Structure 1
Amino acid sequence: MMVGSLQMHIHEDKTVELQSEAQQCPLDASTQMTGIGCYVSCMDDKLVAPGNYITADQYHEERLRAVVVLQTFARRWLALQEVQRLRRDRDRRLRREDFNLLYHALEKWRSEEEQQINSSLRGAERKAALCFLLETETQLIAAIGHHRIAVQNNNYDKVVRNLLDKSAAPHQWRAADGRLIEMDSEHTEHECQLTRDIVDLSDREADLMTRQVKVASLQGLRKRISTLFLQFIKTPAFNPEVAKHLKVPQNPSQLKNDMFQCRGCQRYLQSSDFSPTAGRV
């Protein structure tokens, strides 16, 4: 702007409000240096050199490799545990053929001992040795028999437990994304309805327990309840899910003319359960 012979400049300014506030760190750190009247020894001083700089991506990659190594050893340990469990189950699983081998081995041992006694002893010593051999054989046969009964009871309990687990297991299938989906239906949540006989036996057991009857006296009643309950669990009319796990009906007299055995699943089904296209090529 020109005013006469003078040139004037005009600027518009804005005032900015400033605020200053002092901050004090909660942790103070200091060091003592050598000065006049104060000597600090440098014998324990260390020379520290900076290392390589590690970025965040490198740090996370190192952590990921460590996690993979841990998972490898953990899975190896779990696999060893599973293999040892399967090996123990295989060793404990005794069948009829295994007991037959024991009986054959016992018979072979008895025959060899008897031949040795007959060839080396005479008179009263021979009779005494044969009596001792017979007594030993009897004890071994009794031990094998007790062990066989225990194995049969254990196998029976396992079979019943597996049947109950399978009949009460939820329905499972794979989704499109690979996830395992489980669904509980009314048949899997409630296996069967107890009949009046089972209810009466259960009430009788509760009544005897209130009278403080000895546990040994209740074993027969409880065995009867368990047997009757298992019988009704195996009945498809009360437990529809068990029909998929039974190859032969429990009561063959209930078979009707429209019941046939499926060659594919080896189960007895009604004619309406077969597909119209079954057996066609």
Structure 2
Amino acid sequence: EPEPEPEPVAMPKFIDVAVSQTHKVRVVIDSAGSHVKPRFVGGYRDIRDGTKYHHAQIQTERQTELRYVEKYTTETQTYELRSRTTETTRESSTQMVRPDLMLDDKNDVVVRVGKYVTAEETTSIKAEKAVTLQRFARGARDRRRRDALRNKRDAELKAAEVALETARLAEERKRLFDIERRVSPRTDADFKLLQREFDEWRLKETAKIDAAFPAPVEAEAPESVAVAEDERRRALGAGLYSTATLSVSAAADADGAAVARERRRRAMAELLAKETKMLLAMERLRRRAAEENEKERVRDALEDMAASKHWEKKDGAVVIVDTTQVIRARELRALYEACQVSCSPSERLELLRHLKWTVREFSTKLTKDIAELIDRESDLLLRRRDPATMAGLRKRLSGLFLQFIETPEFNPEASRYSVAALAKAEREAEREAERAARAERIRRSRESRGVYE
């Protein structure tokens, strides 16, 4: 009978090997390759402690720990040079002239040895060239500095010219503005300035008349005339007194006093005529400015009423909305602007028809007056009357229609421009605040008594 195969022996996971009498090493055993005979790779014996190392696959633990220390040697501080040789794809050689060989020497160059230069000469040449290089370098540096200073100077001059031109333009604009506000004043400040300058001019003209035509002195003594002349000189000043043509005369001189009074009266009459003319001109300017300001106010108010609403959402976006009130204000503005434009009779009749349809929606005294004026103008147009004769009628119709537009009952957007509507809104806000305060007092009173709803 064949012998039964021996059962495989379970190898331990590790074994303890006594390396020396006092030192043991635990070796981990690979159970997967335990039945494979390791390949012999040689071995050696440690002469220090007699440890035997059979081959490289079974090694003991390292006895000493390797420490990597940064070292500096001459090898790391010395540049390493290497020589390399190479072969080119084209070979070259030098051929000398022979009796049996003809060479082309048309491109040959004759090279002659120059003068021998000693070390002292080389040093002097280097010094000279260094001075030349320094001269050019310093010249380039100074030229750059010169250009920088020149650019700075030019920039400062240009800035000064710009500032001077700006100041001149500002002064010119101010002068033109002062002239414009005197020629065609628009605001109360302009008219106050005109009135102040008018009063100053009137006082100066009166002083000139006083200097030219002095009033006679009632006293008969010559000393009184001299005293009056001195007081007149002090009152008028050197400038006005030098322009005086007559001196102070006594009242006893009837002929001289009468002549002086007559001349003074004429001069004052001329001054009064000039004052009247200037005041009338100022009044005409005031009326024209009031009309222009009123037109501008109406135009701005109508534009604001017809402007779209800008509502801001929670995320910051703005929504443009045209409400029914805005559309209504826009239609009324278009009708009012059409009333101010001259047009043909047929177009005027169509416009008047639209106006009548607009105001017939309401039944008030104002709308009845507008409808009556519309019927009157329509009748005159049908009779082919001259439009110039209807200027007053059209002006009155435009005024009443503007009043219609500015009434919050007919145009809700006009409530922001109506004093009565604003006062009514304030009264409503006050009543609402009083009702809220009364409700708060009642609530606190009930809470104090322990009564809760």
TM-score bracket, normalised by the shorter chain, equals: 0.5 to 0.7
Tell me, in whole angstroms, the C-alpha distance in 1 between the residues paired with 2:391 and 2:405: 21
Identity of aligned residues (%): 31
Change (3 A) 1:151 1:232: same
Offset of 1:113 from its aligned partner? 0.8
How far off is 1:249 after superposition? 0.7
**Equivalent residues in 2 for 1:92-103, closer than 5 Å:** 94-103=186-195
Distance 2:410 2:379 in 1: 27
Spell out the pairing of 1:86-125 with structure 2 (5 A cutoff). 94-121=186-213, 122-125=260-263
The offset of 1:108, in angstroms, is 1.9
AA of the residue aligned to 2:201: W
Q: 1:147 maps to which residue?
A: 285
Is the Cα–Cα contact under 8 Å of residues 260 and 271 in structure 1 kept in the other structure?
no
What's the RMSD between the two structures over aligned residues? 3.6
Structure-1 separation of matches of 2:324 and 2:425:
27
Q: Cα deviations across residues 177-234 of structure 1 (Å, max 9, x unaligned)?
A: 8765322222111236413432332232122123232333212211221222122222
Equivalent in the alignment of 1:133: 271
2:426 to 253, 261, 264: 261
User: Matches of 2:379 and 2:368 in 1, distance apart?
Assistant: 16
| 3-state DSSP of counterpart to 2:320 | strand
* 1:99–1:159 Cα change, 3 Å: same
Q: Distance in 1 between matches of 2:434 and 2:394?
A: 41
Distance change >3 Å, CA 103–CA 93, structure 1 → 2: closer
Indicate conservation of the 8 Å contact 1:167/1:245, yes or no: no
Change (3 A) 1:177 1:269: closer
Question: Within 5 A, what are the aligned runs for 1:33-182?
Answer: 94-121=186-213, 122-174=260-312, 180-182=318-320
> Are 2:405 and 2:411, in contact at CA under 8 Å, matched by a contact in 1?
yes
Pick the structure with greater CA Rg: 2
Letter of the aligned partner of 1:137 in structure 2?
E
Counterpart pick for 1:204 among 376, 380, 391: 376
Q: Distance in 2 between matches of 1:93 and 1:180?
A: 41
Structure 1 range deviating more: 166-175 or 155-164: 166-175
The answer as to 2:360 corresponding to 1:188 is: no
* 2:379 partner letter: D
CA contact (8 A) 1:173 1:180 kept: yes
Residues 272, 244 of structure 1: alpha-carbon distance in 2 compared, 3 angstrom cutoff: farther
- Which of residues 218, 243, 249 in structure 1 aligns to 2:420? 249
Matches within 5 A, 1:205-220: 205-220=377-392
TM-score by length of 2: 0.35
Q: Does the 8 Å CA contact 2:185/2:191 hold for their aligned counterparts?
A: no
* 1:151/1:213 CA distance change after superposition, 3 Å: same
Write the letter of the residue equivalent to 2:211. Answer: S
Q: Provide the rounded CA distance (Å) in 2 between the counterparts of 1:181 and 1:274.
A: 35
Q: Which runs of 5+ in 2 are unaligned?
A: 1-172, 214-259, 333-357, 360-366, 441-453
What is the letter of the counterpart of residue 398 of structure 2? S
Q: In structure 2, do the counterparts of structure 1 residues 160 and 182 end up closer, same or farther at CA, with 3 Å as the change threshold?
A: same
C-alpha contact (below 8 Å) 1:198/1:229 kept by paired residues: yes
The structure-2 alpha-carbon separation of the partners of 1:233 and 1:109, relative to structure 1 and needing over 3 Å to count, comes to: same
User: How far off its partner does 1:136 sit?
Assistant: 1.0
Matched, 1:223 2:395: yes
Secondary structure of 1:249 counterpart = helix
Pairwise CA distance, 1:274: 10
d(CA) in 2 for partners of 1:102, 1:215: 38
Q: Which has the higher contact order (CA 8 A, sep 6+)?
A: 1
1:58-78 deviation line (CA, Å, top 9, x unaligned)? xxxxxxxxxxxxxxxxxxxxx
Q: Structure 1 residues 241 and 153, CA, compared in 2 at 3 Å: closer, same or farther? A: same
Partner residue in 2 for 1:36: none
**How far apart, in 1, do the equivalents of 2:385 and 2:316 lie?**
55
Change (3 A) 1:162 1:275: farther
User: Structure 1 93/125 Cα, relative in aligned 2: closer, same or farther at 3 Å?
Assistant: closer
Amino acid corresponding to residue 370 of structure 2 in structure 1: I
Find the aligned partners of 1:143 and 1:179 in 2 and give their Cα distance: 54
CA distance in structure 1 between the aligned counterparts of 2:318 and 2:383, rounded to whole angstroms = 50
2 CA distance for matches of 1:274 and 1:241? Answer: 27
Matched residue SS, 2:420? coil
SS state at 1:236 partner: coil
Rounded Cα–Cα distance in structure 2 between residues aligned with 1:275 and 1:201:
46
Unaligned runs of 5+ in 1: 1-83, 263-267
Q: TM-score, normalised by structure 1?
A: 0.53
> Which letter does structure 1 place at the counterpart of 2:420?
P
| Equivalent of 1:235 in 400, 407, 410 | 407
